[in-house]
Amino acid sequence: MSTKLHINLSQGIIDVEGDPEMVREIYADFKEQLLISKPVSTQVNSNTDNLPPTDSKAPKARSRPRRTTQPKPSATEEGPAISANSPQLDKNLDTSALTNFYSQYSPKNHPEKILLFMKFLVDELGIEAPNTDQIYTCYEKVNERIPKIFAQAFRDASGRKFGFIDYNSPSDIKVTTTGTNHFKFDLKKNGDAE
């Protein structure tokens, strides 16, 4: 089942379509702003509970494609917001064993590097939900070139061509079965014959 949420905070427009749980989370993020700012248009089409009813005064579908925007991450009590577009060093991350771990492998591209960093963070450090700042910190620690468009590297690693990770947001990244298999069986180790 697919759920659609359209929020128009005075033409700021946020258009979300997908799993009902994800739509509920995004709606919860903006619910307070909706109540305070009394938006010009709020339109929701879904078969789920806890979401506002469809506003009959909302504008009809446009003939041109809609631009989908993602909500900006909000700052948490732990610190500043995490954004894949402007990553920050995580000074609390223990990267002392990273160089030895990373030097065992010969990654060919950024999706393989991201997979390696994810496996290090999850398997070696026991971090259940690594974020883009922690992966950026890994790039810096091993002195690897940072992808020019950092967020795009995660989309590439999770895309159809590679599928190594499941990238939902800068703080919701998981290694897929495809990624685990690639790590175990296909990723070149240093010293392996070509």
Write out the two tokens for 110: 């950024």
Every domain of the chain with CATH number 1.10.10 lies at 98-186
Q: Which of 84, 150, 86, 94 is nearest to 127 (CA)?
A: 94
Q: What is the pLDDT along the chain (194 residues), one digit of tens a residue?
A: 667 766 765 656 677 777 777 767 776 766 665 555 544 444 444 444 555 555 555 555 444 555 454 444 444 445 568 999 999 999 999 999 999 999 999 999 999 999 999 999 999 999 999 999 999 999 999 999 999 999 999 999 999 999 999 999 999 999 999 999 999 999 999 877 55
Nearest-angstrom CA–CA distance, 126 and 92: 14
47 and 4 in contact (C-beta within 8 Å)? no
Q: Which CATH class is domain 98-186?
A: mainly alpha
Nearest-angstrom CA–CA distance, 182 and 194: 16
Total-model pTM? 0.60
Q: Which of 80, 82, 84, 118 is nearest to 98 (CA)?
A: 118
